[in-house]
Amino acid sequence: MRDLTSDTITEAVISTMRDTEDPRLAEILRSLVRHLHAFVREVGPTEEEWAAGVDFLTRTGQTCTPTRQEFILLSDVLGVTMLVDALGNRRSAEATQNSVLGPYFSEDRPRHSDTADISGGLPGTPLFFEGRVVDREAAPVAGAGVDVWHSDADGHYDMDLPGSPGPAMRALFRTDDTGRFAFRSIRPASYPIPGDGPVGDLMKATSRSLMRPAHVHLLIDAPGFQRVTTMLFPADDPYLDTDPVFGVKQSLVESYDTYEAGTGPCGGLTDVPYT
Ligand code: MBD
Ligand code: FE
């Protein structure tokens, strides 16, 4: 038996995995070991630095709670989430583009019918949101599931609100015969991604802003179609160019129409302006 050296250890590790039954898993692990070893060769970490890296990943795992998935956030801020999506969900140019799912989607959401108010009574600028799901020939897609979720006027999602009031600012809609869905809520604000964990440390160390531009998440699903995970941003948001999770695409930026009190779509259902 020969002593392993820094030149031979990579292939030695890879050969221990030669009996991996799943060929795809074998390919992934081979590549992981090669790239991990190449990273270590390039960086040449000290023992202290390697220990700090291990500690960072340990803390990332420990920061995960039901409402907080720090590893997803790490993937997001390193651009990996958007890269995986870009490679795996190539979409034609005329289709609605994808964006990040993010950590705040929840299966625990009410089903609602058209134009329901999903604000949960929270204060904010009233928002009327209307969309149509159409195929690439612009024909309506009836019965599509449309999940929407967004933050409040301070940038908090329902699960991060003090006193956890239960599901709010989220719902599952179904499109009507014309492919349409609509709801009322409050306008979400730009807000910082969680900064009190290891990802926050990373952002601070690299002088990056935590601020995400305001957005409304959409997840659209219909039989026979690719699922669309996306979000829409308002054109006047100051953080569009520095989104920490790289989720902004030009085609996902839209302007809000502003209405006088008691006017606008939905028949002026409140006495404050719709935005
Ligand atoms: C969010 O609200 C979000 O949408 C993403 C992608 C990451 C962190 C917080
Ligand atoms: Fe979000």
pLDDT in tens, 135-148: 989 999 999 999 99
Residue to mutate (ligand 1; options 63, 75, 76; most atoms within 8 A of CB) = 76
Instruction: Work out the angle at residue 198's Cα, subtended by the Cα atoms of residues 204 and 72, and round it to the nearest 5 degrees.
Output: 110
Same domain, 263 and 191: yes
How far are the Cα atoms of 124, 126, 162 from residue 274, in angstroms, in the given order? 11, 5, 26
**pLDDT band of 275, cuts 50, 70, 90:** very low
Same domain, 85 and 193: yes
Helices assigned H by DSSP within 110-246: 198-205
Same domain, 143 and 206: yes
* 116 occurs within a structural domain: yes
Q: Helix or strand or coil: residue 148?
A: strand
Same domain, 120 and 241: yes
Same domain, 230 and 190: yes
* 185 occurs within a structural domain: yes
Q: For residue 194, give the ligand nearest its CA.
A: 1
* 95 occurs within a structural domain: yes
Cα of 102 vs centre of ligand 1, distance in Å, is 4
* 63 occurs within a structural domain: no
% of the chain beyond a pLDDT of 90: 72
Q: What is the CATH number of the domain that holds 156?
A: 2.60.130.10
Cα of 104 vs centre of ligand 1, distance in Å, is 7
* 54 occurs within a structural domain: no
Is residue 197 in contact with ligand 1, taking CB distance under 6 Å? no
Q: How far apart are CA 64 and CA 83, in angstroms?
A: 22
* 275 occurs within a structural domain: no
Cα of 116 vs centre of ligand 2, distance in Å, is 21
* 66 occurs within a structural domain: no
Cα of 103 vs centre of ligand 2, distance in Å, is 7
Domain of 16, in residue numbers: 1-44
Same domain, 214 and 149: yes
Is residue 213 in contact with ligand 1, taking CB distance under 6 Å? no
Q: How far apart are CA 107 and CA 128, in angstroms?
A: 23
Neighbouring residues of 200: CB distance < 8 A, sequence distance ≥ 6: 194, 210
Cα of 35 vs centre of ligand 2, distance in Å, is 31
Domain count, the chain: 2
Q: pLDDT digits over 216-272, tens only?
A: 999 999 999 999 999 999 999 999 999 999 999 999 999 988 887 777 766 544 443
Same domain, 85 and 186: yes
Same domain, 186 and 244: yes
Same domain, 136 and 247: yes
ipTM value, please give it: 0.97
pLDDT of residue 102: 87
* 64 occurs within a structural domain: no
Same domain, 89 and 171: yes
Same domain, 40 and 81: no
Same domain, 90 and 35: no
Q: How far apart are CA 172 and CA 146, in angstroms?
A: 6
Is residue 104 in contact with ligand 1, taking CB distance under 6 Å? yes
